[in-house]
Amino acid sequence: MTEEHDDVLIMNEQPENDQLDYEFRVILIQQKFNQVNSDLKVEESQMSERILSGIDSFTLINEFFDKFDEKIAYPNEGHIKYDLGSDGVIVIVVETTELRDSVLKFVDEYLVEFKKLHGEETSDNNQEEEKADAEEDKGGIKKKQRKQ
């Protein structure tokens, strides 16, 4: 089903085959925004990362962002920026530690709920990675090796 508004075609349904060959990856960066021109200073940043395990279609990522926008992005407008790349990398930049913690909590809780709804179990490797990520998040950027 489609609608046309002023030469814009709006699709009300996702295509039947909207599966992707990759899962989405969230890279969360905490930085102070320059109030004058919103420039970002890399040297003052902290980074965290999450893999959105099982979210591998446009339909599923749209559902994720519907909830993310409602719970996190809209209430914190002006203090959060994000971009979704065509390669599945989602870069989220936040201004404060509190907002960074809120984003991480949201993503972690969303993934737990998603796995319950879709019957997916977290593998032992994935659990180890999530524990390492949680430890990393406490201290900023740290190098670590993961089992492949």
Structural domain containing residue 61: 18-122
- Domain assignment present for 145: no
Question: Averaged over 99-121, what is the pLDDT?
Answer: 90
pLDDT band at 123 (very low <50, low <70, confident <90, very high): very low
- Domain assignment present for 94: yes
Query: Which pairs with CB-CB distance under 8 Å and at least 24 residues apart come from 106-115?
Result: 106/68, 106/71, 106/72, 107/26, 107/28, 107/50, 107/52, 108/50, 110/64, 110/67, 110/68, 111/50, 111/52, 111/53, 111/54, 114/54, 114/55, 115/53, 115/54
Entry pTM:
0.67
For the chain, the domain total comes to 1
Write the CATH number for 114. 3.10.20.250
- Domain assignment present for 142: no
- Domain assignment present for 137: no
Is the sign of the CA dihedral 87, 75, 72, 57 positive or negative?
Answer: negative
Do 10 and 3 touch, CB atoms closer than 8 A? yes
Q: Which helix (H) or strand (E) holds 46?
A: strand 46-52
pLDDT digits (tens, 9 = 90+) for 13-43: 655 667 888 889 999 999 877 654 555 555 5
- Domain assignment present for 7: no
- Domain assignment present for 144: no
- Domain assignment present for 37: yes
pLDDT digits (tens, 9 = 90+) for 76-93: 999 999 999 988 999 999
Tokens of 136: 């990393």
Tokens of 28: 């969360």
Q: Is the pLDDT of residue 5 over 50?
A: yes
- Domain assignment present for 127: no
Local structure of 15: helix, strand or coil: coil
